[in-house]
């Protein structure tokens, strides 16, 4: 079981989460719980660090600092389990035998030595493990980067061969579209790893792509469910298990967290796109939906999407290349990415045409299009994002059945 930060944000929520762990224990199961830092604690610690040292900081010391958030979470969680009559113990990442490698703040789980975990479990204890952290070869604690607690949970499920990992959060599962925007949105019973990965890429913030990949690789079935409601959530399952074999749209996503960058009037000659992409990759800038327009007058435009926070950095990084090429870099901030995720798109062009027909009907201009067998994404004006999502949800017949 993994409880995210919002699920343990205050003492009452910690108590409720602990109750669920204790209930599982009473059903005769061995229970390992991965706990995140309560509420905003991680951000509060980072703010504190900024007040001591503004600007760039040693990532090793930041890891030493922020890893305390999860440590607070697990000890409170274990205490709450004990108060409900269950034996429980908390273990930090290092104590739980989670060995990590790579650079601080972006470490990877290298391996898990399960000795301590197994001995606590066989002593009948609920084991609360700190998410998001591991032990480095030289005895330091390193954090696993964004979504790291999910990764801890999936890696533990794999190492302990539980087969199953439940991710508890403030969402009830995976929906056909964000239910805050689309009233008819329906919770899916299951979704394939592939579709879930595409949804993550399309901006759905339920789980990070990294954890989904690891779960798929090691055969861990994930259930995404609510920390506050008892109902079943959505199972993320291997493709062969999925009922969603035929071509169909499973879910939609709306992502307003990205901006669009265009390099305008690039000469139409080989190697230019590669030059642009290597510049971005050297600057550590993630991109999505790279589109090269058809050349006109010996000139091209290259456009891509990048996280909002990296927009200006990307613009700067590209300014040198653009100058040499006699091009200019435009930044478009008021954009939204709308995506349909499913299977079999390649052989069913009607899925794409439904999208374009629907958007045209609603007079939504499309800035960019990218499509694969599992996803079609379009970039539209930000102001059209929600209405496009609602129209497409209806057009694809995704509503409650």
For the chain, how long is the longest CA-to-CA vector? Answer: 76
- For residue 344, the Cα-to-chain-centroid distance in whole angstroms is 23
Closest by CA to 396, choosing from 337, 336, 356, is: 356
**Which of 30, 46, 49, 121: binder of its own copies (CB under 8 A)?**
49
Compare residues 75 and 205 and give the one whose CB is closer to its own copies: 75
Classify residue 3 by its DSSP letter: E
Could you tell me the smallest distance in angstroms from the CB atom of residue 300 to its own copies? 46
Does 76 bind its own copies (CB under 8 A)? Our answer is: yes
Least distance CB 216 / its own copies (angstroms): 32
Candidate ranges 51-59, 209-217, 276-284, 297-305; the one touching its own copies (CB under 8 A): 51-59
| Contact status: 89 vs its own copies (CB under 8 A) | yes
Is there binding between residue 51 and its own copies (CB under 8 A)? yes
Among 27, 28, 122, 139, binds its own copies (CB under 8 A): 139
Among 60, 299, 332, 362, which residue sits at the site for its own copies (rule: CB under 8 A)? 60
Q: Is 71 in the site for its own copies (CB under 8 A)?
A: yes
Between 10 and 361, name the residue whose CB sits nearer to its own copies.
10
Integer Cα distance of 216 and 237 in angstroms: 8
Which residues have CB under 8 Å from 171's CB, separation 6+? 206, 224, 226
| DSSP line for 187-250 | B-SEEEHHHHHHHHHTT--SS-HHHHHHHHHTT-EEEEEESS--S--EEEE-GGG-S--SSEEE
Q: Given the rule CB under 8 A, which of 68-76, 194-202, 320-328, 375-383 is the region that contacts its own copies? A: 68-76
CA separation for the pair 158, 360 (Å, rounded): 46
Binding residue for its own copies (CB under 8 A) from 68, 279, 301, 358?
A: 68
Judged by beta carbon, residue 125 or residue 390, the one nearer its own copies is 125
Residue 395 found at the interface with its own copies (CB under 8 A)? no
Helices (H), 131-263: 148-159, 193-201, 209-217
Residues in the chain: 401
Q: Is 80 in the site for its own copies (CB under 8 A)?
A: yes
Question: CB of 83: closest distance to its own copies in angstroms?
Answer: 4
Residue pair 125/25 in contact (Cβ under 8 Å)? The answer is: no
Under the binding rule (CB under 8 A), the answer on residue 189 touching its own copies is: no
By the 8 A CB rule, do 162 and 34 touch? no
User: Segment contacting its own copies (CB under 8 A): 48-56, 182-190, 251-259, 260-268?
Assistant: 48-56
- 123 forms part of the interface with its own copies (CB under 8 A): no
Rounded CA-CA distance 33/78 in Å is 10
Residue 114 touches its own copies, criterion: CB under 8 A: no
Give the position of tokens 């010391």. Answer: 61
Among the listed residues 22, 24, 42, 78, the single contact to its own copies using CB under 8 A:
78
Cα(8)–Cα(31) distance, rounded to whole angstroms? 17
Counting contacts by CB under 8 A, is residue 331 touching its own copies? no
Return the residue of 52, 243, 274, 294 that touches its own copies, per CB under 8 A: 52
293 within 8 A of 301, measured Cβ to Cβ: yes
Q: In whole angstroms, how close is the CB of 138 to its own copies at the nearest point?
A: 8
Binding segment for its own copies (CB under 8 A), chosen from 20-28, 63-71, 321-329, 393-401, is 63-71
Q: Are 117 and 127 in contact (CB under 8 A)?
A: yes
| CB closer to its own copies, 62 vs 370 | 62
Q: Which residues pair with 258 in a beta bridge?
A: 307
Q: Judging by beta carbons within 10 Å of its beta carbon (0-12, 13-18, 19+), is residue 180 exposed, middle or buried?
A: exposed
* Residue (9 or 317) nearer to its own copies, CB: 9
Candidates 195, 184, 107; CA nearest to 151 is 107
45 forms part of the interface with its own copies (CB under 8 A)? yes
Query: CA-to-CA distance for 343 and 250, rounded, in angstroms?
Result: 8
The residue from 9, 74, 127, 368 that contacts its own copies (CB under 8 A) is 74
Taking CB under 8 A as the criterion, which residues in 6-35 touch its own copies?
Answer: 11, 14-15
Interface positions with its own copies (CB under 8 A): 11, 14-15, 45, 48-49, 51-53, 57-58, 60-62, 64-65, 67-68, 71-72, 74-76, 78-80, 82-83, 89-90, 92, 95, 116, 139-140
């Amino acid at each position: 079981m993994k409880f995210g930060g919002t699920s343990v944000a205050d003492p009452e929520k910690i108590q409720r989460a602990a109750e669920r762990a204790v209930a599982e224990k009473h059903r005769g199961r061995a229970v390992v719980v991965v706990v995140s830092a309560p509420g905003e604690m991680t951000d509060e610690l980072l703010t504190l660090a900024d007040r001591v040292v503004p600007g760039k900081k040693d990532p090793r010391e930041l890891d030493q600092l922020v890893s305390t958030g999860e440590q607070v979470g697990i000890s409170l969680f274990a205490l709450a389990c004990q108060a409900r009559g269950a034996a429980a113990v908390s273990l930090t990442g290092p104590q739980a035998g989670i060995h990590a490698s790579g650079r601080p703040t972006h470490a990877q789980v290298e391996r898990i030595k399960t000795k301590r975990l197994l001995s606590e479990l066989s002593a009948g204890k609920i084991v609360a493990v700190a998410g998001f952290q591991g032990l480095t070869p030289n005895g330091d604690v390193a954090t696993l980067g964004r979504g790291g607690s999910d990764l801890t949970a999936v890696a533990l499920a794999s190492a302990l061969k539980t087969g199953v990992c439940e991710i508890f959060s403030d969402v009830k599962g995976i929906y056909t579209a964000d239910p805050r925007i689309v009233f008819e949105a329906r919770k899916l019973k299951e979704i394939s790893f592939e579709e879930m990965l595409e949804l993550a890429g399309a901006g759905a913030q339920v789980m990070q792509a990294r954890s989904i990949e690891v779960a798929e690789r090691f055969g861990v079935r994930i259930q995404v469910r609510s920390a506050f409601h008892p109902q079943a959530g959505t199972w993320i399952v291997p493709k062969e298990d999925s009922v969603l074999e035929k071509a169909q749209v499973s879910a939609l996503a709306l992502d307003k967290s990205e901006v669009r960058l265009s390099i305008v009037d690039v000469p139409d000659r080989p190697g230019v796109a590669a030059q642009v992409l290597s510049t971005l990759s050297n600057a550590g800038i993630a991109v999505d939906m790279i589109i090269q327009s058809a050349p006109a007058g010996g000139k091209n435009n290259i456009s891509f999407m990048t996280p909002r926070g990296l927009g200006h950095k990307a613009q700067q990084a590209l300014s040198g290349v653009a100058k040499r090429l006699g091009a200019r870099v435009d930044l478009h901030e008021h954009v939204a990415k709308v995506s349909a995720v499913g299977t079999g798109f390649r052989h069913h062009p009607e899925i794409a045409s439904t999208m374009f027909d629907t958007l045209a009907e609603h007079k939504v201009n499309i800035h960019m299009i990218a499509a694969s067998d599992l996803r079609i994404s379009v970039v539209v004006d930000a102001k059209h994002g929600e209405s496009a999502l609602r129209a497409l949800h209806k057009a694809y017949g995704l509503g409650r059945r």
